[in-house]
Chain A
Amino acid sequence: MVVRTRVNGDWREADVWPGTSLLTFLRDGLGLYGSKNACEQGECGSCSVWLDGLLTCSCLVLAAQAHEREVRTVEGLDDGGRLHPIQQAFVDAGAVQCGFCTPGFVVAAADLLQRDANPSLVTIREALSGNLCRCTGYQKILDAVNLAVARLRTQA
């Protein structure tokens, strides 16, 4: 079946079998490999994208469910080459090691910052509790979110 989706602002389509997940559609259908596949069951958050603006594990959604809808992925996060503040903060705070979880984390963290410009530590932990990282122990991920919050506040 042909699935047509608006991805990061552009209408894209690919012919996939009906059981294809949104994640596989994005990766193998459209060649957008930024969203990662690490657990296939919504436990790790590495495949996080926005579906019609809602933070979603793309491995848990069928491609067909995204038909004629709007998807935003990690590839759509930076602004014409300029990193999104949360991406820059991840680089600066040392929140990246192997980096496999990173696209999912930056998407989930960016989603949090859209909803809450000044999140408490408990709020940040709760918001990122659906994302697994095996390398960092999460300390520097928390630092990165706090750094992005502080920078956005000064800019505002």
Chain B
Amino acid sequence: MSVEIRRKGGVGESVRRVDGVPKVKGEFEYASDLRRDGMLWGATLRSPHPFARIVSIDTSAAVDATGVFAVLTHADVPGKKTFGLDVQDQPVLAIDLVRYAGEPVAIVAAEDPELARGALEKIVVNYQVLTPVTDMEQALEKTAPSVQPQGNIVRTLTIVHGDPNVRADVWVEGMYETGMQDQAPLGPEAGLAVPAADGGIDLFIATQWLHADREQLGPCLDLPPGKVRLHLSGVGGAFGAREDVSMQIHACMLALRTGRPVKMSYGRQESFYGHVHRHPSRIWMRHGASRDGKLVNIQARLLVDGGAYTSTSPAVIGNATTFAAGPYEVPNARLVGTAVFTNNPPCGAMRGFGAVQACFAYEAQMDKLAGALGIDPVELRLKNAVRSGSILPTGQPIAGVAPVRECLQRLLGLPLPPDEPALDRDPMLLPGGAGNVSHGEGLKRGVGVAVGYKNLAYSEGFDDSSEAWVRVSVDRDGPLAEVKTAAVEVGQGLDTIVTQIVRSELGIDRVVIRGPDTTIGSAGSSSASRQTMMTGGAVQLACQAVQAEIEQRGGLQKLRRPVEATRVFHHRPTGKLDTNGQGDPHVTFAFGAARAVVEVDQELGLVRVVQLAVAQDVGRALNPQSVLGQIEGGSAQGLGLALMEEVALVEGQVKNASFTDYLIPTILDVPPVVSEMIEQPEPGLPYGAKGVGEPSTVVVPAAVVAALRNATGRELRRAPVKPDDLVGL
């Protein structure tokens, strides 16, 4: 590896975001800001029932309505009737059955949004209501109705490690649950489809993965890939919600049918129905250890609710199960994971992707075990933590760095918040804020710690790559580097990292990032903490090729013609799991540790998180300010899962599809987050940098609930923890 030269604005520096100025001025164009002359507005009719047979659909009154240009149903889907990331089992528009409340049934295009919504009300759908499966345990019962033709199991995997029948001195057991969390990106699902003269379509879209969208759009629209051109629009956050297709196919169908540009932009309520959520989980675990505190055997059964369609459930349960033992060495284990279909809303990707649910359970177990053994919980974790070379339950050795001990030690070195008198304080600093009706008499403080880990990039044999094109030219203003990839900036800061990499590699300050589209090869998804590694790696390779050519031509000063290069970056290959769950499933891992300090008003069940501390394994921080921003933002989403965020379902119906009823943390809910970056470069990754978006979200829910247990002495086996749980109602 060559010696890296530090360059201004290059990697390692807290460079200002390249899109910061347009964003603070309100000039940055998001997908919901798109417009074209003569454009129509699309709208979607959704099923009111979680499970029903469609007897008939009468669109005639809608077709005749003023300003309506198209009313389409499944019969109008030009090609393949279904889509999906992994298995194409989700109808573009419901065919004979609706399998969740909110499933798209018909779409319209009209002159303005009000006319479009009015037309939806004129569509008459005759449903024969069926008994839905709305509970993940019920889905497993033999008598349960089948949500999908093949039954209700999406995937089951069993990991058998060592001898799972081995005895232990001490056993602890627990059942844990997590609720359905919504990604709640502030930017709604939106896009603009423009029909082209060649019979194809140009779609301007907020997504996480242009090429995966195109792969699903092409067959449904019955168009070859060359005629389905996707262009990235501004993305207002994602967190997994934009991994699955939402309005993409619908907007294209309406545009192709009407010959006019069609915009679709969901409102907040529709957004709750229009994207997948984090899988709710029910996890049973039994941990066995020796008297001196070494883990001997872990038994786990994990169940997650995938909702009505496959989406990414197979990979999510793969993650939850392979991570079920936590970042600990354990010689024996039996870990069984199952994802089921129900008539609840489909679940898929969200920050942490299966690792969050597992961590919530295994860290509660570690605390319970520490209690049973009479050992300090942190000491128990230090005693069992994995290190580089440790063998995981899948048989996979940890090839890279695994600084679990460093994370824990540095975490504990972070200062605790000062004690505050319970009485006579500013009411804003009471649990529940100024709305609290007590004076702080019943306050109890608690501290909890959790560690956890997450895979980087896709697993189980997925061949994942990213392509980058770099061009260097010299004009009157000097050298200019242009970069193009299909990688999506969702807000995480990728465009800035790419700019820094180009500056470091080429020593050229002036870097222009061209808009991502499908004219270049896939960059893979902006998910799974993978873009810094994958697209960063591809950009680095392309820069190195360009640099070699520049040097061959005698340097930048002598450059007459532009130099360009396109390169593809692959991570190391991974493999599928065998029938015993053995194999080499993950590329590599990032670890993290969190400590939460909470105050509980024991009479009211109100909580104030006083401080969150996070120490995270980042490999190397390419942009420290941006890394800290990821840790802090991920922590806030973890706090949300621990305390307030849950899509409330009653018989398959979402009861809180708004920001009034689905609460995400405000600036009053999120305490100071103090964080430490553990920088131990990962061999084999560009600059040694690990993805940083997810570990804090994985560990914070477990830490917050551990702190609540510490404060109240209650078992608290379910997140989000509600006031009722804390006062014992």
Chain A residues packing against B (C-beta within 8 Å): 17, 19, 27-28, 31-41, 43-44, 46, 73-75, 77-78, 83, 87-88, 90-92, 94, 96-103, 106, 122, 125-126, 128-129, 131-142
User: Which residue of B23, B185, B636, B668 is within 8 Å of A137 (Cβ)?
Assistant: B636
Contact partner of B30 (CB less than 8 A), chosen from A36, A44, A132, is: A36
Contacts A100-B30, A102-B24: A94 and B658 contacting too (C-beta < 8 A)?
A: no
**A75-B26, A83-B24, A96-B20 known; A40+B667 contact, CB < 8 A:** no
B675 (CB) vs chain A CBs: closest residue: A139
Say yes or no for B288: interface residue by CB 8 A criterion: no
A37 engages B188 (CB within 8 Å): yes
A91 touches B632 (CB 8 A): no
Residue B724 at the A interface, CB < 8 A? Answer: no
Measured CA separation A107–B419 after assembly (Å): 35
User: Which one of B218-226, B246-254, B490-498 contacts A?
Assistant: B490-498
What B residues does A19 contact at CB under 8 A? 114
The listed residue (A34, A91, A98, A125) touching B490 by CB distance below 8 A is A98
Residues of B within 8 A of A (CB): 14, 16-17, 19-21, 23-30, 32-33, 35, 114, 183-188, 234-239, 267-268, 426, 428-429, 490-493, 625-626, 628-629, 632-637, 658-660, 664-668, 670, 672-673
* Chief secondary structure at chain B's binding surface: loop
Contact check, B186 vs A133: say whether CB atoms are below 8 A apart.
yes
* SS of A interface (majority): loop
Beyond A134-B186, A137-B635, whether A103 also contacts B268 by CB under 8 A is no
Query: Do A128 and B667 touch (CB < 8 A)?
Result: yes
Task: Knowing A125-B428, A132-B659, say if A87 contacts B668 (CB, 8 Å).
Answer: no
Provide the residues of chain A in CB contact with B632, threshold 8 Å.
Answer: 136-140
Question: Distance (Å) between the CB of A105 and the closest chain B CB?
Answer: 9
Q: Complex: how many Å from CA A90 to CA B625?
A: 12
A55 CB to closest chain B CB (Å) equals: 15
**How close is A48's CB to chain B, nearest CB, in angstroms?**
11
Candidates A39, A40, A98, A137; contact of B235 at CB < 8 Å: A98
Question: Which of A28, A38, A126, A128 has the most chain B CB atoms inside 10 A of its CB?
Answer: A38
- With beta carbons under 8 angstroms apart, the residue of B16, B30, B634 that contacts A92 is B16
Q: Is the CB of A39 within 8 A of B658?
A: yes
Most chain A C-beta atoms within 10 Å of own C-beta, residue among B28, B30, B659, B667 = B667
- Bound CA span A39–B659, Å: 6
Closest A residue to B236 by beta carbon equals A100
B668 touches A83 (CB 8 A): no
B26, B184, B236, B670: the one contacting A138 at CB < 8 Å is B670
A73 CB contacts on chain B under 8 angstroms: 26
Closest to A73 in B: B26
Residues of B within 8 Å of A128, CB to CB, are: 667
Query: Do residues A91 and B186 form an inter-chain contact, with CB atoms below 8 A?
Result: no
Residue of A with least CB distance to B268:
A39
- A140 vs B632: C-alpha distance in the bound complex, in angstroms? 9
In the complex the two chains form, is B428's CB within 8 Å of A126's CB? yes
Contact check, A38 vs B187: say whether CB atoms are below 8 A apart.
yes
Contact B33 A33, beta carbon cutoff 8 Å = yes
Q: Which residues of B contact A103 (CB under 8 A)?
A: 24, 26
CB–CB B667/A131 < 8 A: yes
Other A-B contacts than A38-B236, A44-B186, A74-B25, 19 sampled, CB-CB below 8 A, are A35-B26, A39-B659, A43-B658, A43-B659, A78-B25, A91-B20, A94-B14, A97-B492, A98-B238, A99-B24, A99-B236, A99-B491, A100-B491, A131-B666, A134-B237, A136-B633, A138-B632, A138-B670, A139-B629
